[in-house]
């Protein structure tokens, strides 16, 4: 690893950053979904719940592999910027009680699924999965392996809070066969870290990564952010260099979404210190340019992958997907979400678990799948979901070819092409025949173009984050 560097070396000075086109300003300020699913969770309703979840789970074919997501909604301390479903446990008692219910829910889903081809992906997210005691983590992985069956190519990924990562937890992950770890880095600036209530010196991050590598866990992802209070272009560039210098496999560069009416603890953030739209655009652009200059392959909206990473291969061979974990090379149609608030995905639709933990626990203890709300997909949803996924993954979509692929009538996406024409005049996309493409310089507004294919979008919906 390189010892010292100039944070401006790859991007030049802040003065040289590319500005956002004037015509894009209005679009950049509009709320749009992240399109990690279509329809989005905003369209889930209580008329789709346990009965559908059971029916859909039972229809998974015997030769079909599945993915599993386990949610651990606990953190030692809440970071002010966080929008995740998580809480401070105040002692291990609440975590232990939650774990007990997780084990029971694993058995419920295992029974509901019946015979299938086994688990090919197991993802732990949160919250902070390393809030679990090392032995509890190991037992949870083992239980999931027994209940869902282990495929030879099983990938186990864990999101980690570097501040609370202990040598014992690293050993537990290595023993449990963890193949990939996502490190929440966000920023290296101590001023920004202080402003968001998350202090983690560079040495702590380096030490954690080196320890992981020493145990054989070599695929390290990093989450970085822009748009945080007091953040500058130089901060984002510094973090991007750090990711490159540490040999990171994948980097996600997310914009901070300030929605204190939705995530109450965000009100601890000083709004006056938040960068404006233009600064956010420049930070995102500078971070992306630094990563690409360092050799990363730009993936979709906000991901970057090293040349040898499986995400880069998936992007090159057209097998990239987008699901609740963001961009993925996971080809499974079935994703079982376990834990309070988790979302499961089936060919037929989506179901989300109860959010209130006491209700979730009561449902599981009563031997019910704890599904609270969801949506059954119509043929039109499937068509639009495919078009949106293609656009979000490859930055272009052939509307006619997608209609053909999904068995829809020719012209079924004409309304989307019509809406896209309006964006074309602002330079956000190009339309050649039936192909809508997003130029690389408009990548940050990709969701705005994807929204043209959204047949359920409600302009008044303010719950989504701004496009930039």
Q: Rank residues 87 and 115 by Cβ distance to ligand SF4 and give the closer one.
A: 87
Q: Which stretch binds ligand SF4 (CB under 6 A): 126-134, 283-291, 380-388, 418-426?
A: 126-134
Question: Pick from 127, 129, 229, 349: which binds ligand SF4 (CB under 6 A)?
Answer: 127
Q: Which helix (H) or strand (E) holds 93?
A: helix 92-113
Q: Rank residues 154 and 196 by Cβ distance to ligand SF4 and give the closer one.
A: 196
Q: Which stretch binds ligand SF4 (CB under 6 A): 54-62, 78-86, 172-180, 306-314?
A: 78-86
Using rule CB under 6 A, residue 185 touches ligand SF4:
no
CA distance 73 to 276: 31
Nearest CA among 280, 327, 330 for reference residue 299 = 327
Q: Judge whether 447 and 428 are in contact, CB under 8 Å.
A: no
Q: Least CB distance from residue 73 to ligand SF4, whole Å?
A: 8
- C-alpha distances out from residue 95 to 131, 364, 366, Å: 8, 16, 20
Using rule CB under 6 A, residue 223 touches ligand SF4:
no
Q: Rank residues 26 and 87 by Cβ distance to ligand SF4 and give the closer one.
A: 87
Using rule CB under 6 A, residue 79 touches ligand SF4:
yes
Q: Least CB distance from residue 341 to ligand SF4, whole Å?
A: 12
CA distance 208 to 196: 21
Question: Pick from 53, 78, 154, 351: which binds ligand SF4 (CB under 6 A)?
Answer: 78
- Beta bridge partner(s), residue 225: 254
Using rule CB under 6 A, residue 86 touches ligand SF4:
yes
Question: Pick from 33, 89, 126, 275: which binds ligand SF4 (CB under 6 A)?
Answer: 126
Q: Rank residues 78 and 388 by Cβ distance to ligand SF4 and give the closer one.
A: 78
Considering only the C-alpha atoms of the chain, give the largest distance between any 2 of them, rounded to a whole number of Å.
61
Q: Is the dihedral of CA 366, 367, 368, 370 positive or negative?
A: positive
Using rule CB under 6 A, residue 266 touches ligand SF4:
no
Q: Least CB distance from residue 79 to ligand SF4, whole Å?
A: 3
Using rule CB under 6 A, residue 72 touches ligand SF4:
no
Integer Rg of the chain from CA: 22
Question: Pick from 75, 338, 399, 452: which binds ligand SF4 (CB under 6 A)?
Answer: 75
* Tokens found for residue 143: 């239980």
Nearest CA among 107, 24, 108 for reference residue 371 = 108
Q: Which stretch binds ligand SF4 (CB under 6 A): 42-50, 72-80, 103-111, 205-213?
A: 72-80
- C-alpha distances out from residue 91 to 82, 235, 361, 456, Å: 21, 35, 19, 43
Using rule CB under 6 A, residue 184 touches ligand SF4:
yes
Using rule CB under 6 A, residue 82 touches ligand SF4:
yes
Return all residues near 377 (Cβ < 8 A) that are at least 6 apart.
39, 348, 349, 385
Q: Which stretch binds ligand SF4 (CB under 6 A): 32-40, 125-133, 268-276, 377-385?
A: 125-133
Strands 303-305 and 297-299: antiparallel
Point out which residues bind ligand SF4 (CB under 6 A).
75, 78-79, 82, 84, 86, 126-128, 161, 184
């Amino acid at each position: 690893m390189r010892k010292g560097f100039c944070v401006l070396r790859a991007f030049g000075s802040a003065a040289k950053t590319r500005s956002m086109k004037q015509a894009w300003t209005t679009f950049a300020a509009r709320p749009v979904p992240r399109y990690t699913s279509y329809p989005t969770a905003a369209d889930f309703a209580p008329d789709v719940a346990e009965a559908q979840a059971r029916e859909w789970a039972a229809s998974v074919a015997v030769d079909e592999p599945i993915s599993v997501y386990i949610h651990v909604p606990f953190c030692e301390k809440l970071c002010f910027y966080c929008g995740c479903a998580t809480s401070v446990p105040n002692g291990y008692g609440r975590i232990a009680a939650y774990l007990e219910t997780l084990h029971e829910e694993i058995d419920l889903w295992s029974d509901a699924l019946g015979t299938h081809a086994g688990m090919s992906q197991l993802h732990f997210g949160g919250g902070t999965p390393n809030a679990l005691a090392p032995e509890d983590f190991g037992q949870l992985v083992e239980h999931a392996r027994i209940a869902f069956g282990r495929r030879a190519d099983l990938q186990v990924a864990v999101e980690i809070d570097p501040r609370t990562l202990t040598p014992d937890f690293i050993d537990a992950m290595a023993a449990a066969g963890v193949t990939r770890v996502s490190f929440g880095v966000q920023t290296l600036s101590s001023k920004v870290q202080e402003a968001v209530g998350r202090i983690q010196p560079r040495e702590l991050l380096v030490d954690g990564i080196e320890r992981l590598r020493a145990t054989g866990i070599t695929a390290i992802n990093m989450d970085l952010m822009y748009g945080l209070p007091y953040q500058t272009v130089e901060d984002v560039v510094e973090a991007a260099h750090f990711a490159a210098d540490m040999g990171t496999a994948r980097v996600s560069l997310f914009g901070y979404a300030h929605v204190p009416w939705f995530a109450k603890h965000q009100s601890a953030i000083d709004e006056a210190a938040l960068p404006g739209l233009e600064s956010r655009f420049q930070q995102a652009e500078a971070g992306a340019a630094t990563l690409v200059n360092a050799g990363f392959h730009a993936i979709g909206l906000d991901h970057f992958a090293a040349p040898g990473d499986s995400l880069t291969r998936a992007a090159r061979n057209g097998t990239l997907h987008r699901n609740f974990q963001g961009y993925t090379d996971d080809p499974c149609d079935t994703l079982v979400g376990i834990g309070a608030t988790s979302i499961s995905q089936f060919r037929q639709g989506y179901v989300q678990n109860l959010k209130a933990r006491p209700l979730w626990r009561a449902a599981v203890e009563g031997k019910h799948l704890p599904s609270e709300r969801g949506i059954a997909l119509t043929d039109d949803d499937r068509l639009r979901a495919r078009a949106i996924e293609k656009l979000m993954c490859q930055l272009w979509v052939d509307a006619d070819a997608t209609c053909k692929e999904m068995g829809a009538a020719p012209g079924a996406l004409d309304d989307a092409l019509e809406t896209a024409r309006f964006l074309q005049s602002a330079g956000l996309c190009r339309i050649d025949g039936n192909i809508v493409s997003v130029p690389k310089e408009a990548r940050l507004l990709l969701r705005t173009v994807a929204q043209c294919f959204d047949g359920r979008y409600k302009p008044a919906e303010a719950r989504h984050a701004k496009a930039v």
